[in-house]
Amino acid sequence: MMFSIFVILFNLPFTHTNYESRIAVTPVGYEFQLRYSIQLLVSTTAQTIITCSATCNQLSSCRTFDFDSVSKRCRLFEADTTTTGSIIVSSSSTSRVGTVQISSDLYSSTHNQPCTLCEMDRYETCSANTSTCQCPKNSYWDGSVCALQLFQNNTCKQQNACRSDLNLTCAQDCSGIFTKCVPASIINATQTSAGYGVTFVGTCSGSSVVNQTILTGQAGITMSPNGMLYVADGANRVVLYSQSNRVGTTVQSYGSWPAFLFYDNRTSLLYVTVIQLNLVYIYPTNNTIPPNGISYDNCSLKWLYRPSGIVVDSTGNVYISSYMCHWITKWTPNATTGILIAGSATGTLGSTSTTMSSSMNMALDEANSVIYVADRFNNRVQRFSLNGLGVGVTVAGGNGIGSAPNQLSQPTDVYLSKSKTVLYIADYANSRIQKWVINASMGTTIAGSASGIAGSSAYLLNGAYALTVDPTETYLYASDLNNNRIQRFFFL
């Protein structure tokens, strides 16, 4: 119903400034219609609209009232028109509706501030837990004001937006997008638990269409310190996703498919191995490694032959593994030739401590001068010293191909925890992510099936090709290659 509301706007004068409210009042002939009976706080009588609004004002949960100047009825509501109530035409021509005007400036000086700043405030209360000013009961901080919590089936946008006193919670769909308020008891308890993957990019079912929301056989992923996710997509492009926008933007396209990515937070450069072109491209400068852009299909320290994994250290040295030369080479800034760090000097494969079989992505531990590498077809993760002596130690797997806890099957990516004590391994052909404490004799599965079963449900992966972890180590993202999707799990 359309009508021009709010002819009167007044400030209620009270001793304490913070207890004043700006109240907007409709013309006569309107009343407030609540949707849920518990939104009615008080139904009383008052002499004038000013005394009715003053009563509302003294009750911090009162957001709306209506007053009839003949019957003297004064009703106070914990409700507003933006959530679950409405202003309707009244059968009484002497009824008006008053609404407390809420705006961000009312909260800017108090929210999250010491309690002394909201002692006499009607908008925020002191949280005993934190001794700071927080939203009162039945409301939540929406980023600028304390908004009233919502009721069952209302559309919600954040976890705490629903009436917690009624045991409601904001449900999420399979992509982790908030949907509506539902009883907490019907939420799949597992959705927020270990092992449940939220589809961060792509379709939940794993179907593929090449556009900005959907990937096709994507490989490496990496995240910048501000939470931007870069994806090396099989459609010969790098696509960028923010935490808030699941529609990506193509950063750069290449003449072939990019394999792994490394975001260098020191220089804000993105390093991309374009495997079939035998080159590393640096975004956005378009510089390449080798710098002359020359490519040959043979194993020479002067070139890259099927570069796969990539990491950059704090001084700009780039470590690149080769899928075909089974080694890791180090390229100092602008070098025209690499230095052998690990693997056979002739580029031949092997399964000894000095050889590898298709070296994939790596994790660098500069403090301890070591590098971890997924040694794909040896089904193990090796650790090499950066001094170039090239004798590796097996830190995970190495017990033959398989899905037992002490085995891996074609590992392709590895993440080293900030504590430098735990490896997270993309156990590609087992379609699982393994957590392996350094020096432990076996790992545990934190995503996918522990027995190596592939699938497309929220609990399964199909080809766990790569992984990255957000800067706060809250979430782990897995590149679920054959499902054309990026799944997000709790980092445990």
Ligand X SMILES: *[C@@H]1O[C@H](CO)[C@@H](O)[C@H](O)[C@H]1NC(C)=O
Which window, 8-16, 65-73, 295-303, 374-382, contacts ligand X (CB under 6 A)? Answer: 295-303
Please report whether residue 284 would count as binding ligand X according to CB under 6 A. yes
Which window, 15-23, 58-66, 79-87, 282-290, contacts ligand X (CB under 6 A)? Answer: 282-290
Residues 6+ apart with CB under 8 A from 333: 315, 316, 317
* Residue closer to ligand X, measured from CB, 82 or 441: 441
Q: What are residue 262's DSSP bridge partners?
A: 271
Respond yes or no on whether the N-terminal peptide bond of residue 307 is cis (omega within 30° of 0): no
Closest separation between CB of residue 416 and ligand X, Å? 9
Q: For ligand X, how many residues bind (rule: CB under 6 A)? A: 29
Which window, 9-17, 97-105, 212-220, 446-454, contacts ligand X (CB under 6 A)? Answer: 212-220
In contact, 348 and 355? CB cutoff 8 Å: yes
Q: Which value, in Å, is the radius of gyration of the alpha carbons in the chain?
A: 30
241 to 270: interface string for ligand X, x by CB under 6 A: ------x-----------------x-----
């301890």: which residue's tokens?
Answer: 368
105 φ/ψ angles, rounded to the nearest 5 degrees? -65, -20
Residues in 329-358 at the binding interface with ligand X, rule: CB under 6 A: 333-334
Reference 215, options 194, 197, 236, 196; nearest CA is 236
Reference 403, options 362, 449, 437, 459; nearest CA is 449
In contact, 434 and 195? CB cutoff 8 Å: no
* Residue closer to ligand X, measured from CB, 59 or 174: 174
Which window, 59-67, 115-123, 205-213, 381-389, contacts ligand X (CB under 6 A)? Answer: 205-213
* Residue closer to ligand X, measured from CB, 52 or 395: 395
**Residue in 249, 300, 351, 472 binding ligand X, rule: CB under 6 A:** 300
Which window, 106-114, 139-147, 279-287, 336-344, contacts ligand X (CB under 6 A)? Answer: 279-287
**Residue in 82, 298, 352, 451 binding ligand X, rule: CB under 6 A:** 298
* Residue closer to ligand X, measured from CB, 57 or 456: 456
**Residue in 43, 152, 245, 474 binding ligand X, rule: CB under 6 A:** 152
166 to 195: interface string for ligand X, x by CB under 6 A: xx--------------------x-xx----
Count, residues in the chain = 492
Residues 6+ apart with CB under 8 A from 442: 404, 405, 406, 436
Closest separation between CB of residue 334 and ligand X, Å? 4
Respond yes or no on whether the N-terminal peptide bond of residue 290 is cis (omega within 30° of 0): yes
In contact, 100 and 22? CB cutoff 8 Å: yes
**Residue in 209, 345, 391, 492 binding ligand X, rule: CB under 6 A:** 209
Residues in 105-124 at the binding interface with ligand X, rule: CB under 6 A: none
* Residue closer to ligand X, measured from CB, 39 or 55: 39
Reference 411, options 436, 442, 379; nearest CA is 379
| Residue 10 token pair | 């007044």
**Residue in 201, 214, 221, 386 binding ligand X, rule: CB under 6 A:** 214
d(CA 342, CA 372): 11
* Residue closer to ligand X, measured from CB, 3 or 296: 296
**Residue in 471, 472, 473, 474 binding ligand X, rule: CB under 6 A:** 471
Please report whether residue 388 would count as binding ligand X according to CB under 6 A. no
d(CA 424, CA 467): 8
289 φ/ψ angles, rounded to the nearest 5 degrees? -125, 125
Please report whether residue 129 would count as binding ligand X according to CB under 6 A. yes
Task: Give SS3 for 117.
Answer: helix
d(CA 356, CA 321): 10
Please report whether residue 71 would count as binding ligand X according to CB under 6 A. no
419 to 458: interface string for ligand X, x by CB under 6 A: --x----------------xx-------------------
In contact, 394 and 379? CB cutoff 8 Å: no
**Residue in 116, 153, 245, 250 binding ligand X, rule: CB under 6 A:** 153
In contact, 458 and 445? CB cutoff 8 Å: no
Reference 361, options 482, 470, 435, 258; nearest CA is 258
Residues that bind ligand X (CB under 6 A): 127, 129, 152-153, 166-167, 188, 190-191, 209, 211-214, 225, 247, 265, 284-286, 296, 298, 300, 333-334, 421, 438-439, 471
